[in-house]
């Protein structure tokens, strides 16, 4: 089995907005599994909510999307491109996620063309679903010039 590259080697996201710790399984352009290990140090926990820190739901969706981008951008024909959100559908939040918890992520991609595609993903904590969403994405050149 080939060693998987760290997220920073495949997707353009960087701290403080890299929400993917490691990818553990990959079928290029089709499926990926990984996780985001939360700490107690993420700055958003201080304001969301004081005294009751909770991971914002939109960041769960973003972490799922970053895993999807990893699966897509691992394909040689998409190298040097960005996968941007085109939309989110059927989003459901089912569980509060707390500081220090590990958000296990999985994404299955559906139809993908040279310009856009769709996928579906889930985020779980200890096997319990925290979030589920359908992703729509579009490709753009990474270099704006």
Please write the tens of the pLDDT for every residue from 33-70: 999 999 989 999 999 999 999 999 999 999 999 999 99
- The reported pLDDT for the residue numbered 61 is 98
Architecture (CATH level 2) of domain 7-141: Roll (3.10)
Q: Which of 31, 48, 95, 102 is catalytic?
A: 48
d(CA 122, CA 32): 11
- The reported pLDDT for the residue numbered 94 is 98
- The average pLDDT across 7-20 equals 95
d(CA 89, CA 127): 23
Q: Which residue has the tokens 């005294």?
A: 51
> What's the pLDDT band for 3 if we cut at 50, 70, 90?
confident
> What's the pLDDT band for 80 if we cut at 50, 70, 90?
confident
Strands (E), the chain: 22-27, 31-37, 81-93, 102-112, 116-125, 128-141
Mean pLDDT across the chain, nearest whole number?
Answer: 94
Contact of 37 with 102, CB cutoff 8 Å: yes
In the chain, domain spans? 7-141
Give catalytic status of residue 48 as yes or no.
yes
Q: Could you tell me which residue, 80 or 11, shows the higher pLDDT?
A: 11
């Amino acid at each position: 089995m080939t060693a998987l590259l760290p997220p920073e080697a495949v997707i353009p996201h960087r701290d403080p907005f890299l929400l993917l710790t490691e990818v553990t399984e990959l079928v290029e352009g089709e499926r990926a599994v990984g996780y985001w290990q939360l700490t107690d140090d993420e700055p958003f926990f201080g304001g969301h909510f004081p005294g009751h820190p909770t991971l914002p739901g939109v960041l769960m969706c973003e972490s799922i999307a970053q895993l999807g981008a990893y699966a897509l951008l691992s394909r040689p024909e998409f190298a040097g491109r960005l996968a941007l959100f085109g939309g989110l559908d059927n989003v459901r939040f089912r569980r509060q996620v707390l500081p220090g918890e590990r958000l296990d992520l999985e994404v299955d991609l559906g139809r993908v063309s040279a310009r856009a595609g769709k996928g579906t993903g889930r985020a779980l904590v200890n096997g319990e679903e925290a979030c589920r969403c359908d992703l729509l994405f579009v490709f753009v050149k990474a270099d704006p010039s």
